[in-house]
């Protein structure tokens, strides 16, 4: 391998294996490990799985304290990630990738669970506070701004007021709710494509 081939290989590795520097980060939030699969708090991970199927790529490389994959969505080069830091430290992974690729925060799309929405519902926001969500709280702290777009996926409210919130978000979806989630994740895929194309208003009008 001559020096030019070595430099080309190094450039491809730096640019996520595609040879093109990512323009966007798409981060689905959740907790790693079999014990957390299909739990409400892992709605963001489930949305990433839907993106993998739709756009034919895999999130399997260990980088930036996350599982990552590279995809072209809506004509844009995207780094897609599932932080492996556990929910409360999601910002560590997102900021490490953002800083490495010098990606502006407005080009970070975060997908996560929301207990204020019922399963089958979604909401898109340009920016905003954490709203009590620890993953978003961590990203805001590490990136030092609230100004990143996000997609909230409904996981349903606690069944009764005295129910422990942590127990609820770490509980598994019912089969019926999983079907609703599959349907809403189709819309999430559509929304992500519009958002990376700069059509966030159109996405909000269509899916909110």
Which residue, chain included where needed, has tokens 């519902």? 121
User: Is residue 133 annotated as a catalytic residue, yes or no?
Assistant: no
Tally of CB atoms within 10 A around 203 = 21
Distance CA 187, CA 92 (A): 28
- Which two tokens mark 21? 């520097």
* Catalytic residue, candidates 27, 30, 39, 41: 41
Q: How far is CA 8 from the centre of its chain?
A: 29
Active-site residue list: 41
């Amino acid at each position: 391998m001559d020096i030019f081939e070595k430099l080309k290989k190094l450039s491809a590795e730096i640019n996520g294996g595609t040879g093109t520097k990512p323009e966007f980060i798409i981060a689905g939030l959740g907790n790693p490990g079999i014990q957390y699969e299909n739990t409400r708090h892992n709605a963001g991970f489930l949305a990433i799985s839907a993106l993998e199927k739709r756009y034919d790529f895999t999130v399997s490389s260990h980088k930036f304290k996350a599982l990552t994959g590279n995809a072209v969505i809506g004509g844009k080069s995207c780094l897609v990630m599932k932080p492996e830091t556990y929910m409360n430290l999601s910002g560590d992974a997102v900021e490490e990738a953002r800083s490495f690729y010098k990606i502006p925060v407005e080009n970070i799309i975060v997908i996560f669970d929301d207990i204020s929405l019922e399963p089958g519902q979604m909401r898109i926001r340009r920016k905003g506070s954490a709203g009590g969500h620890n993953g978003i709280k961590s990203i805001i702290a590490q990136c030092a701004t609230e100004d990143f777009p996000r997609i909230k996926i409904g996981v349903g409210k606690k069944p009764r007021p005295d129910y422990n919130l942590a127990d609820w978000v770490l509980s598994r979806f019912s089969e019926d709710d999983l079907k609703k989630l599959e349907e809403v994740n189709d819309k999430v895929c559509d929304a992500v494509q519009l958002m990376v194309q700069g059509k966030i208003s159109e996405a909000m009008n269509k899916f909110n």
